Structures are given as C-alpha cells and as structure tokens.
Structure 1
Amino acid sequence: MSDNLNNSKIGRNQLVSNEGLYYVCYQLSKRGWNAMPTSRNARGIDVLIYNREGTKMHTIQVKALSDRSPAPFGSKLDNLIAEYVFIVNNLSKEPNLYIMDTQTARGLIHEGEKNGKKSYWFQPNDYEKFKDNWSIIGES
C-alpha cells in the first residue's frame, strides 16, 4: 500500500471498514452462519448470511469504528436497506459488537444539519444497549 493511502484519513477509514466487515463475518461464522461479504460498492448491504440448509437468509449493514465514537450514516438514510445493523467499535483494541434490526436503528439515529447539509449518526449511548444482541437474528 502506498504511504499516501496508508497515512490518509480515507485510507485509514477503508482499513477500519474492512477490519469491521471481516470481524463481523468471523463472528457470524463462529455461530454457524455462512457469511458472504458483498461488493464494497453494493448499496446498503455489506453481508449476506444464510444457514447451512439454506432455509434462513438475512442481510446486514456493518458500521466499523476504531474506538468508541458515533457511527456515521452519511447524508441520507435511503441506503439503510439491510434487515440488521451491526456496529463494531474499539477495533484497535478489543472489539465490541452491537446488533439491532434496522427499524430499531432508524428510530435512534440522530439527524443534524450544518451549512445546509444533513447528516445522520448513531450515538454510542444509544447503540451500546444492543451489545452482543445475537438472539435478534436467531439460530443458524
């Protein structure tokens, strides 16, 4: 990797996103799910999971953070189309995983506006209520 990419904020954010995505896939696999990351350009869905028999399938959006901070959702929420939202934080030390359905997440996401531009984010105090909430996706 070039030094420019490695030292840039964009390059670091891409690495954190990848770390979080594969950490979530690892955790799902440990629980018996087949986890398939989507193309990094796929709109709104980061992971497709299905059970061994192929009778249960779910879609997941992953938000990855290097530490305990708000999870950004960008300037519009129309990309929030997966069934579940997984937030993984503290990736630089010992990761924590927070799991909720998208409808619940939508109700807790904050909206702000600065210089005429909207932004959406999830505060740690809101998403931390869902730590290791594996029961929401059910058994594989």
Structure 2
Amino acid sequence: MSLHPTLDPQLTGNVGLYYCCYRLSLMGWNVMPTARNARGVDIIAYSRDASRFVGVQVKALSKRNPVPLGTSLDKVMGDFWIIVNKVATAPSAYIMLPSEVTERAHRGEKEGRVSYWLQPTDYEHETFKEAWERIGHGA
C-alpha cells in the first residue's frame, strides 16, 4: 500500500483538519474539532488560560486547486480560514481572515447556478503562506 494513497474528499478533509489541529497545538492552543459537516467553524481553539478563543474554518485540498466557497458568501465565518493544499504529499497552509476570503472570491455562473470560488492565485500570497503567526500563540 502506498504511503500517499489517493484520498477521497472526506479523508482529504480529515487530513487537513488534523494537520491544522497539530500545528495549532504546537503553538500552545488547546484545540477541539467541531462536528464534521456542521455549518460554522471546523476548529475551536482556546489559549491555555482560556482568555482567548478563535474559531477556524479549514479547507483541505488534495492539489493546488481552487477552494469551493458554495452558493453564497454568508458561510464565510470564523476568525481565521486555513487553506491547506497538497495535504497528503507536501502540505502548504495559507492563513487568511474571512474578510480576505470574501474580498478575493470569484463568482461563477453555470446554467443559471451561482457559485463562489477562491482561485490559487488569490490565496497563494506570501502574506498568507505559513502565516501561523497571524493567529498568534495560545500560551
């Protein structure tokens, strides 16, 4: 069996979620994944003294792909968004604010259906790449 099998979307999401939990834990945060596929944030992290809480949405991708944002931008919530691409091979994380996600979102329309996407060129900025310090330390 290959060390990096082709992951289905649910496993890709799990890898991205737990990768983010791992990285945040190393920064001193207590992290709790929320119910999967529930509306809202994917991770609640709180500082050791419980004085600071952050809600994080995670978007995990198997490749360098656009991020699907759904049919409206009202699901863009939380304190931070972490986009992790190439999760099974060489994870790269991009830490963004929800306002930065909505500002850069592209609106697509196909056969009368509207969808929003974040293109790789819109999230792969040096400002966001591995910018875990934007979240800060939980210790």
Tell me the TM-score normalized by structure 2: 0.89
1:1-140 matches, within 5 Å, as 12-129=8-125, 130-140=128-138
Of the two structures, which has the highest relative contact order with CA contacts closer than 8 Å and spacing of 6 or more?
2
After TM superposition, give the deviation of residue 47 of structure 1 in Å. Answer: 0.4
Where do 5+ consecutive residues of structure 1 fail to align?
A: 1-6
Contact residue 113 and residue 119 of structure 1 kept, 8 A:
yes
Query: Which of the pair is proportionally richer in helix?
Result: 1
In percent, how many aligned pairs have the same letter? 47
What are the Cα deviations for residues 80-127 of structure 1, in whole angstroms up to 9, with x where unaligned? 111111000011211000001111111011111101111111111111
How many residues in Structure 1 have an aligned counterpart in Structure 2? 131
CA RMSD across the alignment: 1.4
* Alpha-carbon separation, structure 1, partners of 2:65 and 2:58: 15
Tell me the TM-score normalized by structure 1: 0.89
Moved >3 Å (runs of 4+): none
* Alpha-carbon separation, structure 2, partners of 1:111 and 1:133: 26
After TM superposition, give the deviation of residue 138 of structure 1 in Å. Answer: 1.9
Where do 5+ consecutive residues of structure 2 fail to align?
A: 1-5
